[in-house]
Structure 1
């Protein structure tokens, strides 16, 4: 007996990717329902060789739904996730709405699978920020081996992290540059074509941005609250794939060679690291891939126990849709839910 799965925000970049990954990975769903806002009613989306027409979220009955994959933004999730959870449906939320709630597990299955057991308090499980997800996948095995004390990370985040509007703006601005048309910025605070913007999300009182704070807070919640984290988040003119330059200070000695061997064996990680032309991964190559790629692993001679590395992943997959589906799979693996239809 399979599960009934609903996807809220099915017409967005991440929602469509969720549908693709559900089918790719053979998730045991007898029925998949695509949900969206009223303005997207009856929009067609693909699920394998099937075409689904979207239904309206605010009139949908979740009483027979087992899992709801929520990808419709924080305000929608704040309103609807508790209502859906109250109907006995487990919500896996891709927004920032519930990540910092003590009663809601924040999960990357390769990092802290045991934390999922606490989902019953609200029937909600949070998916981390896209840049945090790939970061902690690479950090977890190294932390287990040598105990991380401090991380300094600079992110290079693609425009797809800002949704379809971000991708459209990069395309339109790039075309305008080539034909000498005026370039206008609407989604981003400055021109993104052939430029980089050191500003993602709103500014906070200490001068950092909310995106930078998310990386710090989520790393601490999932990995270790004792780790010190400093982050600079930058938007770059790349369509898909987030990259990160990461400097790590450890409590115990660890060499670059040891780190490579550890990461080669770690779940979700793929090491592509040769000190030669092209011996590393770029975001372009990560698009469509499930792995978190690690390159440029080297020792930092300015620290007693320090390493630097380059981490890249498809932000729409591991940073969002794939991790959400992996959380759903984890619920099944740990026998935490059964299909309502079977009951």
Structure 2
């Protein structure tokens, strides 16, 4: 909380019922204040100028202008933290990814049935994500600082046993794109745990696959780890890596959440301590909370090289900060420099 001042929230939704419920939810927390509610983006535009809110909650399907078009214009003209609150179906997973790509900090799916009581049930999550959005930097500002350093592909990698492990959360969908796009097609395998709901990980992996030279896919149980491939933890399971003869195998587990997350970054990193050890290179990107810090420390103690994203280019400097605080990090770098440094180290 910013001193004693409340976080000022503007709600944008075409449903009068949803506007009333969200206003009630926000106002029920002592550190939050619903300063206004707009029925469509054109009204929201005027209210932003008049009320100067700290955080915007935004629906997608609205009259006069859809939420994504408004989000794109907003991030270009007046960047601010935006939390998407919308009905997300399987089709909506693409919508959610588009919103994150355009600069939204995070999203919450409206319940499909009995929206009123459902949103009340989400009250703590809504409040938590509004607070997180308030402390996040507007993504469009971060993207401007994340210019990728040139990556030259010269020389062979040091061996097929090398493996890169990556953890990320809030802001990670865009950070991962910046990290992966420069990677050459024959780079060592990359394993990723990104905090993301089950319905989104397959679409997210497919989207990255269309942008990258490496082959990006959602991880599968018992899969052999191959160089030139990126494996994204599915939203329903922890991702672990184990030894399989001379190579590695992926294991998925539906066991209890760790650090309130499944998949958990700590689970991935800790699984690699014995199986990968000094052959690992560990990267921790933007995200809220402390997930990954202890696992990264254990990997560093096992001889792996560790890199954390810096505060200036992180949407939320939570997970990288936690790793730095526990002594888990060899090097702190801006997002745009991490891929080059990883490749230099692997060669």
TM-score normalised by L of structure 1: 0.31
RCO comparison, higher one (Cα < 8 Å, 6+): 1
Return the TM-score normalized by structure 2: 0.31
Greater helix proportion:
2
